[in-house]
Structure 1
Amino acid sequence: MRNLFKLFVLFFLAVSFTSCYKEPNFDLKPNLEFQEIQKEVRIDIFTAANKDSVVIGVKFQDGDGDLGLTESEKSAAQENNDYNYLVKSFRKKNGVFTESNSLISLSGYFPRLKNDDKVGPIEGILYYTVEFPHPFTPRNDTLKFEVQVKDRSGNLSNKVETSEVVLNVSRL
């Protein structure tokens, strides 16, 4: 009898805890929040020159979880430069940031964040890397970035701005 009572209490607690979990109710439009920016100096394997590898971390939430592309979806998107990770850079000059006009786009693609096709909320941190070879980057170049993502339904997230980062730092 005692074992039956313990089993009943255990079952009751298990049901109680599982019924308390509420699935988050995120908007279908992705939402971003700036998390962090990191810079690491690396050596380019082709030129043997230094380069700054900048990693941008953004926290994301999406109500239906349709973030990211499969390889075949990415191939189709590349034909039209239809990026799902949109990046603009802003260069600091005389204390003022202005949009940087680069010939090479910093935008790109990120893979699917859910492997199944189930519709449902998803959240986490998305990391994206941009590289700046020192031979093509002005010394002590101060940049910040504006980031936006697009889901597979075409919904654009809000735009977030990173903190500033100094590239190609001269060493005395």
Structure 2
Amino acid sequence: MKLPIPIYALIMLAVGGCVEIPDYDATPEIFYNGIDQFTELNATTNEKVRENVIITIDFTDGDGDLGVSTEERSDSAFIKPYGDWGNYELVTVRKLADGTWQEFILSEDKVKWMPLLKPNGKSGPIKGKIDLNTSYLYGNSTVPVTLKFKVRIRDRALRVSNQIETDTISVPGYPL
């Protein structure tokens, strides 16, 4: 049975009208999804070179203004309001020999940027996953250290999300 085009159009409008637009807060919210790591080996010697760590977070943002373009990152006037931590903050938390934890920000993690997540620039809610990356080099005097991370993100309006904490992992590090 073929439906006449006007009836088909009305049915499609009725179905399309049932889709609810999510109502997320304009301040981004993040949720811990997982942490993964993999060892990079020297292709010639098969020795461990680097431990790559990927932290996956889920996010929601009511106006979708997350991320920065490559051009914006090279514009000092645009970047200045972000201060000293970019648009995502990665705090490393290391377990010490006495069982306590010490927080610090590694120099390579000092200013981190995620790309534009809505390149068309249209305002509206978004939801998704972000992978945050860092790495640790193996060396002659490195030992296994236990770490976890704390993460926050912020949007283009400089609204800061909640902070999440990851599970613990073991990576190469230097004795304290």
Query: For the superposition of Structure 1 and Structure 2, which TM-score range results when normalised by the shorter chain?
Result: 0.7 to 0.9
Q: Which one-letter code corresponds to 1:62 in the other structure? A: D
RMSD of aligned Cα (Å): 2.7
Q: CA deviation at 1:98?
A: 1.9
Do structure 1's residue 26 and structure 2's residue 24 form an aligned pair? yes
- What do the CA deviations read for 1:81-103 (whole angstroms, capped 9, x no partner)? 45101110000123332213644
Do structure 1's residue 83 and structure 2's residue 81 form an aligned pair? no
CA contact (8 A) 1:44 1:51 kept: no
| Partner SS for 1:73 | helix
1:95 aligns with one of 99, 106, 111 = 99
Do structure 1's residue 148 and structure 2's residue 147 form an aligned pair? no
| In 1: Cα distance, 2:21 partner to 2:105 partner | 42
CA contact (8 A) 2:66 2:155 kept: yes
After superposition, where does 1:42-121 map in structure 2 within 5 Å? 42-43=40-41, 50-75=49-74, 76=76, 77=79, 81-93=84-96, 94-100=98-104, 102-121=106-125
Over 3 Å counting, the alpha-carbon distance change for 1:31 and 1:101 in structure 2 is closer
Equivalent in the alignment of 2:128: 124
Over 3 Å counting, the alpha-carbon distance change for 1:33 and 1:12 in structure 2 is same
| Partner SS for 2:161 | coil
Structure 1 ranges of 4+ moved more than 3 A: 2-5, 7-13, 78-82, 100-107
Q: Which one-letter code corresponds to 1:157 in the other structure? A: S
CA contact (8 A) 1:92 1:98 kept: yes
Q: Which one-letter code corresponds to 1:57 in the other structure? A: T
| In 1: Cα distance, 2:71 partner to 2:83 partner | 14
Over 3 Å counting, the alpha-carbon distance change for 1:72 and 1:4 in structure 2 is closer
1:39 aligns with one of 37, 40, 47 = 37
What is the percent sequence identity of the aligned residues?
Answer: 26
Identify unmatched segments of 5+ residues in structure 1.
none
Q: CA deviation at 1:8?
A: 6.0
| In 2: Cα distance, 1:167 partner to 1:4 partner | 63
Identify unmatched segments of 5+ residues in structure 2.
none
